[in-house]
Amino acid sequence: MAPEEGWVGIEEVAAHLRVAKESIYRWVDSKGFPAHRVGRLLRFKLSEVDEWVTTSGGASNEGRGSPGSGPRKTKP
């Protein structure tokens, strides 16, 4: 019988993914990042986080811009 996976907090998830805690909060609110509320706290299972990253959840261009974004070029 495999040991049950424990719950981790926002700090551990941010360190695991090497991103800022603010990114995690933003992803929970807007991108369906797998989080569970325990009172006012967010708790995570790293296996769910890893699955989200390897599927479409982590495949955004956030912070990188998308084709056509940025300053428009004008003709001289």
pLDDT tens for residues 24-59?
999 999 999 999 999 999 999 999 999 999 996 766
Give the per-residue pLDDT at 62.
53
The CA-atom distances, in angstroms, between 54 and each of 14, 20, 43, 51 are 16, 19, 20, 5
Q: Could you tell me the maximum CA-CA distance found in the chain, to the nearest angstrom?
A: 70
pLDDT tens, 4-30?
A: 889 999 999 999 999 999 999 999 999
Give the per-residue pLDDT at 75.
53
Containing 37, the helix (H) or strand (E) segment is strand 36-38
Q: What is the rounded distance in angstroms from the CA atom of residue 23 to the CA atom of residue 53?
A: 13
